[in-house]
Structure 1
């Protein structure tokens, strides 16, 4: 099969959110709060346990009253905010009540995200070979400003974002929209992601799939590099 277009997942594939402890430190600083390193790590661990950081750890358990919000989080921007702010509020934090909204806003900022070491190299190689690229993401907010700030926007031809279309991975329509935007048949597309269930949904359309490991940026230097060879 000849690959004529590549679809990439966003979080955990091309970029990764900052560590929870850094996210919390920044949020507390913005409301004028400083805590000891030990306390910072303890609070960060609690926030990870409840899944308060979008793009970070999933909750150990989802409270029944939040189940509906959880299922719809990536197709409803207001629900996305409400869900994650509510999850974060399960952990008592020092400072004013608005600290939870400050933390949510922080996770959408470009410098809260770090590209994997091979992201730019692979996207640039695909551009050089004239292989179009789409980002296909379950997300509750617009990724384009983030890609622009990281200098990656010129290397992406299209975005298929769940909240804009009301459908999310692994449902085939989101992948189909991405292929259509690139002008390639699904059978000529490669989906690259870190989640076998969500990203593997592309196989229902006939797309090939390449999975990368969901690891911190510093621990995954080259999982994207095989994509260059897969496009021939």
Structure 2
């Protein structure tokens, strides 16, 4: 799985979403929020539509469409995704206006980028601490809203990482290999010194490889396929 022993690397950089943390109750959070706006829908259906929308709008993006990423473009992307879900939930039956659709979609963006909704995977805290103690330089490269640093701080792990490269702050977004080159530049490390950990085949395996960085896939869910690890604790044994 690794091209060389873990001890041959000086640094380990990480993706964040579905690698270090997740929103464990995303479906129920959305259901409760919609219910507060008098839109009562089945939680399972909400989850199905979220998966459908994410695959359509995120995984379906063209590989060569490396556009500038900004806080505004990130919000626009997610508002579009939430709007898709709302339309699929037949909000027209509730006679919602376009203004209500936009307002609700924007409020959900704020809801799902706030620190309170997130939780670390149970292997993260001890694994990150152990890797740091062993002398590894740890960093973050993530496609995320500008709230990422506050989320990591809220979870008690921000201090472990330098640099923290966030797409909406640097104007670059995975799978553009340029975001990995920027991380190398800021950390003053060579590509061969860095190992990257993430859950997405294109963003977290293909993209760092274009910058000369080795990568390992972490498979947090049953639908993740291919080679990889299931826990960060596996790194400690490599």
State the TM-score bracket (shorter-chain normalisation): 0.7 to 0.9
2:234 equivalent to 1:226: yes
2:179 equivalent to 1:171: no
Q: Is the 8 A contact 1:110 1:149 kept in 2?
A: yes
Tell me the SS of whatever aligns to 2:232.
Answer: coil
Q: Is the 8 A contact 2:21 2:118 kept in 1?
A: yes
Identify unmatched segments of 5+ residues in structure 1.
52-56
Tell me the SS of whatever aligns to 2:13.
Answer: strand
CA distance in 2, matches of 1:123, 1:84: 29
- Root-mean-square deviation (CA, aligned residues, Å) is 3.0
**CA spacing shift, 1:192–1:204, aligned 2, 3 Å:** same
2:150 equivalent to 1:145: yes
User: Could you report, residue by residue, the CA deviation over 1:184-215 in whole angstroms, capped at 9, with x for unpaired residues?
Assistant: 21111101111122112212333221111142
TM-score (norm 1): 0.77
Work out which of the residue numbers 9, 12, 28 in structure 2 matches 1:22.
28
User: Could you report, residue by residue, the CA deviation over 1:127-182 in whole angstroms, capped at 9, with x for unpaired residues?
Assistant: 11221111101224331000000011122122112222222223332112222333
| Equivalences, count | 212
Shift of residue 83 of structure 1? 2.6
Work out which of the residue numbers 83, 86, 92 in structure 1 matches 2:80.
86
2:11 equivalent to 1:8: no
2:214 equivalent to 1:208: yes
Q: Is the 8 A contact 2:28 2:43 kept in 1?
A: no
TM-score (norm 2): 0.75
Work out which of the residue numbers 194, 197, 202 in structure 2 matches 1:192.
197
Identify unmatched segments of 5+ residues in structure 2.
223-228
**CA spacing shift, 1:213–1:79, aligned 2, 3 Å:** same
CA distance in 1, matches of 2:189, 2:198: 19
Aligned twin of 2:225: none
